[in-house]
Amino acid sequence: MLKRILLFAVLFSAAAAGAHEKPENWLQVRSEHFIVATNSSEKQARRVADQFERMRLVFHQQFPKLPIDPPAPIIVLALKDEKDFRALEPEAYLAKGQVKLGGLFLHAPDKNYILMRLDAQGEHPYEIIYHEYTHLLLGKSMEWLPLWLNEGLAEFYQNTDIREKEVLLGEPSAENLQLLRQQTLMPLATLFKVDENSPYYHEENKGSIFYAESWALTHYLQITDAKQRTHKLTDYADLLAQKTDPVEAAHRTFGDLQQLQRALESYVRQAAFLVFKVPGATEIDESKFQVQPLPMSQSEAIRADFLAYNQRIPDAQALLDQTLKDDPNNVLAHETMGYLAFRAGHLDDAKKWYGEAVQLDSHSYLAHYYFAAISMNNPGSSADDARVENSLRESIKLNPQFAPSFDRLAVFLAVRRRNLDEAHTVGLTAVSLEPDNVGYRINVANVLMNMKRPDAAIQVLQAAAKLAKTPQEIAQVNNFLMSAQAFDSAQQKVAEMQKETAEEQQEMDSDDDTATDLIHRPAFVPKGPHLFLVGVLKDVRCHTSEMDLTVTSELKNLSLHADDYYQIRFTALNFTPSEDLNPCKDLEGRPAKVEYVESADPSASPHLLAIELHK
């Protein structure tokens, strides 16, 4: 059972497979929220689209406050038989003796694919699809769920039975019941503490009882709440959302856990189980479905794209080569070639393929996004900048739910220090679409730093610190927070200095024999990637908010300039500097690593972006 449930994990470890034979007579049915591509009949394709639209409505009714539509469309590849299914399924399941799948859900940040067999057998042939679909719809909004309830809900909904006039929810799994009746149940206090690192989640035997018992407890609580007209499961979830310990929340909501354990043990041994009926409110108007035939090259391109995301790279490449031979202007094939090049680290090739996809068809939001995002890693001329900005804006227009496009536009505008109010707005939009993304919040803080609003940046970073999970995220937020606090402190000191008289300023300037007025510079245009140099900071000079300094190292001496030293990101390696660090007075002679970017004007000094102080 563990292998079946962990299917999504194996999708990204699949290797190459054999050649693919071309199915014929493909067609596409597009409903409001799904795209069904099939080599079967229109009748079956319509039924699949109807089934998934109704499943979506079931979730909408069960969780009316949750955003249930992912930013990337869900594409269903409905294959007429096992042979065609095996041409696309993960390599790990092609070996003799492996479990036969009826379907799978493949989720990536920018794609959602469902692969299914129309001839699948069994009482619930698409249970794995519904299981992963549940995770997709609930994952972003319920990250505070403990693992047992997360998996229990997925197990609960995986056996959904969509009929003509009604939908049945919570039908028991014979496999789960058999396991629960043959083995001793886990203590509930143990079940509530299981996480991704627990052996109960990873070892096959223990993992199986974990999934089965998670289903049983979820089912028991759902049915009990319905029969007694209580809302204990909802109350438990509310406590979890407030970050209450799962065991403590269970004690407060369910009472004596030993009593609950005995009730659960009796429950799994009963002869019959109640299910929920959702009436015909889930009926879908099929007259709105759009049906069209798929040319062979387009069906090949869709299958090649699935194979690429499914990590069957040689098969994907072979099918793409054939597609581009038959149809050199196939947009999706260009996009998938860009994806393969990007995954292989060949950024120039990826930019080329995505750029060609953009030129061929302006309706691919992903092509626009990837072309712009890759181009931003290697800034070019003002004409290139215009193409990048246009692609980001077009990507947002084509898919206003795709957060990465908003984030990249915010970064693009901030780096060029223009339209900062808009950069702030689009950055906040990215955060609203993906509130858990720490990187987006850091980028918003950078925009605020460029706007000379370090106090607001500090607030954003403090909120990001509460969401940071990995050591890398925590370190990144802390470094940016330290930089923002130093910026805020420096800005306050400059404000105090500006209150002094002009005579005092002139006297301070005259004390430094080396002080000279800094040369007026035209607007800086960056060129090339960000570069780094480790050395000692020398000749640090400030004039109003501008700064010049030299980095001396064994390799070279490098003069750097900053138009506004408030915008320099300050961090420290393995020590904590004084909170009242004054960049204009305290940097001289300090060892450091600097980050900078070259100027498009060969006569202009490179721009200083960040300073990492060393002991």
Say what percent of the chain tops pLDDT 90: 38
Residues 162 and 54: beta-carbon distance below 8 Å: yes
Neighbours of 609 (CB within 10 A): 19
Residues 25 and 139 in one domain: yes
Residues 77 and 303: beta-carbon distance below 8 Å: yes
Most confident segment among 8-22, 341-355, 490-504: 341-355
**pLDDT of 520 higher than 90:** no
pLDDT at 292: 94
363-380 pLDDT, tens per residue?
A: 889 999 999 999 988 765
**pLDDT of 411 higher than 70:** yes
Domain boundary residue, one of 282, 312, 342: 312
End-to-end CA distance of the chain: 54
Answer yes or no: is 434 within a domain.
no
What 3-state class would DSSP assign to 208? helix
In sequence order, the β-bridge partners of residue 29 are 36, 291
User: Residue 577: which domain range?
Assistant: 519-613
Residues 131 and 176 in one domain: no
457: pLDDT confidence band, cut at 50, 70 and 90? very high
Answer yes or no: is 397 within a domain.
no
Residues 73 and 1 in one domain: yes
481-501 pLDDT, tens per residue?
A: 888 887 777 767 666 665 654
**pLDDT of 30 higher than 60:** yes
Most confident segment among 309-323, 561-575, 601-615: 309-323
CA nearest 68: which of 58, 59, 79?
59
239-278 pLDDT, tens per residue?
A: 888 888 888 999 999 999 999 999 999 999 998 888 888 7
Residues 19 and 102 in one domain: yes
Q: Into how many domains does the chain fold?
A: 3
Q: What single letter denotes the amino acid at residue 449?
A: M
Q: What single letter denotes the amino acid at residue 493?
A: K
**DSSP-assigned states of every residue in 202-260:** HSHHHHHHHHHHHHHHHHHHHHHHHHHT--HHHHHHHHHHTT--HHHHHHHHH--HHHH
362: pLDDT confidence band, cut at 50, 70 and 90? confident
Answer yes or no: is 279 within a domain.
no
Neighbours of 206 (CB within 10 A): 16
pLDDT at 18: 38
pLDDT at 470: 84
pLDDT at 316: 95
97-121 pLDDT, tens per residue?
A: 655 666 778 888 788 898 888 887 6
| Between 17 and 54, the higher pLDDT residue | 54
Residues 264 and 220: beta-carbon distance below 8 Å: yes
**DSSP-assigned states of every residue in 571-610:** EESSS---TT--HHHH-TT-EEEEEEEEESSTTSPPEEEE
pLDDT at 9: 33
In sequence order, the β-bridge partners of residue 551 are 537, 558
Q: What single letter denotes the amino acid at residue 206?
A: K
pLDDT at 499: 60
**DSSP-assigned states of every residue in 114-152:** EEEETT--SSSTTHHHHHHHHHHHHHTTTTTS-HHHHHH
**What residues contact 228, with CB distance under 8 A and at least 6 apart?**
none
Residues 36 and 116 in one domain: yes
Please state the separation of Cα 215 from the chain's center in Å. Answer: 27
Answer yes or no: is 347 within a domain.
no
Residues 219 and 137 in one domain: no
**pLDDT of 504 higher than 80:** no
**pLDDT of 12 higher than 50:** no
Mean pLDDT of 582-602: 86
Residues 19 and 85 in one domain: yes
Answer yes or no: is 395 within a domain.
no
Answer yes or no: is 541 within a domain.
yes
CATH at 126 = 3.40.30
Answer yes or no: is 159 within a domain.
no
- Output the CA angle 369-371-373, nearest 5 degrees: 65
What are the backbone dihedrals phi and psi of residue 35, each rounded to the nearest 5 degrees, phi first? -120, 120
15: pLDDT confidence band, cut at 50, 70 and 90? very low
306: pLDDT confidence band, cut at 50, 70 and 90? very high
Residues 138 and 7 in one domain: yes
Residues 91 and 5 in one domain: yes
d(Cα 414, Cα 399) in Å, to the nearest integer? 22
CA nearest 344: which of 372, 318, 319, 317?
317
Answer yes or no: is 176 within a domain.
yes
d(Cα 301, Cα 332) in Å, to the nearest integer? 6
Q: Find tokens 């909904």 and name the residue.
A: 157
What 3-state class would DSSP assign to 36? strand
**pLDDT of 349 higher than 60:** yes
121-148 pLDDT, tens per residue?
A: 666 767 777 887 788 777 665 667 788 8
Residues 236 and 303 in one domain: no
Whether the model clears a pTM of 0.85, i.e. scores above it, the answer is no
Residues 133 and 77 in one domain: yes
Lowest mean pLDDT among 15-29, 167-181, 413-427, 585-599: 15-29
Residues 119 and 55 in one domain: yes
530: pLDDT confidence band, cut at 50, 70 and 90? confident
CA nearest 348: which of 382, 313, 323, 380?
380
CATH at 598 = 2.40.50.140
